[in-house]
Structures are given as C-alpha cells and as structure tokens.
Structure 1
C-alpha cells in the first residue's frame, strides 16, 4: 500500500562525488530544486526527504545511514538502478512534483538477524564461509525444521525488493514488492540438485530462517556492505524496521514497468510500447 506524500520544501542530497557523471547529475538536480524554491539542507536541517543520486548501492548505503527515519527518493545515474525511481532524463519534472506533494511513500520490508549481533538488510543477507574464497557446508532450517544442507558459496536471504538483485542472479524468483515474503537461495550448491529438493524457497517474512555450519564462524554481509563475523547458527527473520521509499506513481504495479524498462534489452520492449501507446512496435 502506498501513502500520499506531503508538499516538500527541504531536501538533502546524497551522492558519491568521486564519480564525475554522478556529480554532474547531482549539481544539475540541485540547480533545478533551488530554482523551484526547494531548499537544500543537510540531515540536521530536518529535510522532508533525501534524494539519492547514483546506483542501487548508494541508496542501500543511505538506508543504512537513516534506517527508515527519512523517505528516500532514488535518481539513477545511468546504471541499472532497479530500486531507484527517477531516470536522469526525467529530473526536470521532479521539483514540481515534490513541491506539490505529487509522490507516494512505499514502506518496504526489511530482514534482520536475531541474537547478540543485530543487523538489518533492505536487499539481502549473504551468509558465507569464514574462509575467503572457500566454499562451506551450510544447512538451512525454517521455523526449526531442517530443509537441506550442501557445500556451497553461501546462502542468500532476500526481501521482496532484494529479490531482483543478488538472489535473482543466483537463480531465485522475483517477488512483487507488495508481498510479505522472503526468499532463501543457495549460491552455487554442490553437487547441483543432488543434495537439495529445491535451490530456492519463498517463505513468510514472519518465519525464522536458521543457517548453520560446522565451521567455527561464518561471515554475514548485509546489502553488500562490510562482512560481520558471526558464530553459527545465524537466525534471520522479518524486521519491524521499514525502508521508506518515495515513488512518483500511485500504482504499486509500476514496479514491473520499471523492471522491464531497465533490465530487458530494448529490442524486446516493443510490446510495452504497443500496450502503452497503441503504436505498433517496429523491428520485433
């Protein structure tokens, strides 16, 4: 469910100024915002939202800095940006939409580790061997029931939003962001399909996933950030923390349009043009 936003008067900009392309886009956006009367402040200035310019990784880092305390609006800088809302060519329309409150807030599910070390992830957790470059024997239990074990490069536990990232690349399914589920996916299991009934599972967010290993410790990586050393078993379940993401469309299914536009080769998207405009696609 999306919630209507309020008119915006102050924003903070988050971007990586080491990248010339990103810096150029951020400065252009800053000029457009100031021209429309929207103030640029830092986080101590109580901004109405944070505009994140860059790729998915930049938005994920912004989430870990704010943990849902401020809405995040992603502007992609030319990368895939599957969780980012605004394409570079559309930023000219952004100040008007924000100042009029023409945006909607999505409260995205996250997952967390249980126990002494509390970690939160918006995309996914990767649990892998404590020995760099080595596979490990990892087992998975769901709500206390063992479902399999194998030698593998790791286990991914992803949110609905994270299902379009590492988990998808490892062979997991794509979840609708509105679903209240998470995905558990083995990374490069061996022997393939001999030790596991399934490689990937979709389970409710309120379930508890337990990852165990005969090793003394494993590494837990949240959203591709720094690894944490933890003693198995590692327990993961849905978190009460929500990532607040600003969207420019009130239609939750617009997620599919964004995915197709950014991840499907252009020559295969002609049918999308036809469905949207009625104009017959060319060169299909």
Structure 2
C-alpha cells in the first residue's frame, strides 16, 4: 500500500517521575511504535519532550513548531491528557493527529494499544475518518489588561479556592448580563469537553458537530442555576465578584490565580484540532464503550 503520510512525529506520555524520565513501559511502547512506523516507510521523529524523557536518541527530536511545519502527521501514544496537551499546540498548524490509547479512558486516543499495528498500517495508507474539533481561546483581564491567555480543547474552569467558601461569578454573554452565580465554580466546555468535567457536574453531552458551548455551574447555591447550551460564536465573560483564592484552568493543564474584578473572556479560536480515526469509527460507539452504556441490559 502507498503511504499517505511520510514524515511522522511520535508524541508520548509526559514525564511520570520527579526526574523527568518516563517509566520503562512507556519507553518500550514509544520505541516499538517508532520502529513499526519506520518499517512502514515513514521518517520518524520524536516530540522534543518525548525524546528528552525517553532517551531514545536513535530518533531525531523536533519541537512543536518543527512538527507543525515539517510533519504530515502526529501519532500520540498516551491518554486524553497527552492528546489535549499536544492537540492545542498543533491546532494552529493543521497537523492531523492519531491517538493510541495508553491511558485509562481514551475518548480522544481511540486505538487500543494492543491493536495499533493493523489499524495504524491501514490509516497510514489513507483508510481513516477525519474529525475536526473546536478550540477555545481564553484570556484573563485585570483592570482592562490581558494578564494571561491559553487555549483549551476540553474546557475553561473557574474554581473557588481549596479552603475557601463558594465564589460569586458574574456571567455575561456577548455583553448581555446573564446572572450572578454563587457556586463552587463554573465550567465552559466544548462538545469535546462535554464528556469530561462538565458531564460530572451535570452537564449534557454535545455531539462534536454541534457548534456550541455548554455553561455548567459547579454545585450552585441556587438549584435553578442549571447548565445552558450556547452557540459557539458568542463571547462569554466571567467576572470574579466575591470569593477568595479563585483560579482559572484551561484543560486542567494551564492554571492561573484570579483576583476580585478579574474577567475571564472565552471565545472560539480560529484554529481547530484535526483528529483521524480508524475507518468505520463512530462517536456513538465511543460513548457506548467509554460510558458503559447497555451493560447488564437485554
């Protein structure tokens, strides 16, 4: 079979120890996948942090910008956290990503590790489904000045402090006042993130093709403060009205402390993340498997 992807970047799980090195099993997985890709005729490089943490110097190392400009494909071996981290960074380059699940859940890394050889060989030859996911761009404004910004594929979460009582948050949508929420926090989630923290907090599932956000209060003081689905072209603003030690997190990976009067402004990014799935992939199959639907049923 002819190859559709020649230059492939391999991205592994982030370092798992205080020394910055991966476990032996992770190193073996990365080496095995790298050798397999070479056997298929691919020119293989490792993401820089993967190269540093595994010590697999037989492969070259590329930073994110070089992967985006030079590679046809990124193969991600890890869990959803690994995919979130690299997906946000590569979205601006339009680099497609394939996920091999070495984690626990695997909504985004959907190829089982034990089945990757047969599946990946077919995908490298062009047998895949393409799936584009929305990205959020969030900024924190303090006295009118942007002091922090980050992208999020899953969610932007404003949380109360660990030892503090609930926070009071003013929510505006496109400049229109919505409500002051007194709660433990609030989640703005994409359809991709609707299966993550937002689901645990009582939010709905959103199909990836729905151009929408879901706004989910976390343990609201007023039970009528329910999740709401919003069209994703809108701008959502959350202002810290009261409460101590609040913070904003972006995919639970980029975190910043907040002060009274800070505003977190979230818009749809101009970039989208490109996922490639095995031929015949279905979003509903993923939900049924990962959420254990129908188990014990007829």
Tell me which interval the TM-score lies in, with the shorter structure as reference length. 0.7 to 0.9
**Alignment coverage as a number of residue pairs:** 258
Q: Going by fraction, where is strand more abundant, 1 or 2?
A: 2
Which residue is 2:87 aligned to? 63
Check if 1:237 corresponds to 2:267.
Answer: yes
Distance 1:78 1:214 in 2: 38
Cα offset, 1:20, TM superposition: 4.1
Distance 1:65 1:206 in 2: 21
Check if 1:247 corresponds to 2:277.
Answer: yes
Change (3 A) 1:213 1:78: closer
Q: Matched residue of 1:259: which SS?
A: helix
- 1:162-200 CA deviation, whole Å, 9 max, x = no partner? 111111111100100011000100111124x1xxx3420
- 1:130-163 CA deviation, whole Å, 9 max, x = no partner? x443231123222233332232221110111111
Match of 1:187 among 203, 210, 218: 218
Q: Matched residue of 1:32: which SS?
A: helix
Root-mean-square deviation (CA, aligned residues, Å) is 2.4
Q: Do 1:168 and 1:174's aligned partners in 2 also have CA atoms closer than 8 Å?
A: yes
Q: Do 1:160 and 1:175's aligned partners in 2 also have CA atoms closer than 8 Å?
A: yes
Which residue is 1:10 aligned to? 7
Q: Do 2:129 and 2:279's aligned partners in 1 also have CA atoms closer than 8 Å?
A: yes
Which residue is 2:150 aligned to? 119
Which residue is 1:212 aligned to? 239
Which residue is 2:99 aligned to? 74
Range with greater deviation from structure 2 (234-243 or 257-266): 257-266
Distance 2:111 2:163 in 1: 37
Which residue is 1:201 aligned to? 228
Within 5 Å, give how 1:132-211 maps onto structure 2.
132-134=162-164, 135-191=166-222, 193=223, 197-211=224-238
Unaligned stretches of 5+ in structure 1? Answer: 1-5, 271-283
Cα offset, 1:101, TM superposition: 1.8
Which residue is 2:290 aligned to? 262
Q: Do 1:126 and 1:157's aligned partners in 2 also have CA atoms closer than 8 Å?
A: yes
Change (3 A) 1:78 1:227: closer
Q: Do 2:10 and 2:76's aligned partners in 1 also have CA atoms closer than 8 Å?
A: yes
Cα offset, 1:63, TM superposition: 2.0
Distance 2:271 2:82 in 1: 19
TM-score by length of 1: 0.81
Distance 1:141 1:248 in 2: 40
Change (3 A) 1:30 1:220: same
Which residue is 1:90 aligned to? 115
Cα offset, 1:103, TM superposition: 2.2
Q: Matched residue of 1:213: which SS?
A: strand
Change (3 A) 1:78 1:118: closer
Cα offset, 1:113, TM superposition: 2.0
Q: Do 1:32 and 1:95's aligned partners in 2 also have CA atoms closer than 8 Å?
A: no
Change (3 A) 1:99 1:235: closer
Distance 1:156 1:86 in 2: 29
Cα offset, 1:47, TM superposition: 1.8
Range with greater deviation from structure 2 (180-189 or 141-150): 141-150
Q: Matched residue of 2:84: which SS?
A: helix
Distance 2:226 2:24 in 1: 41
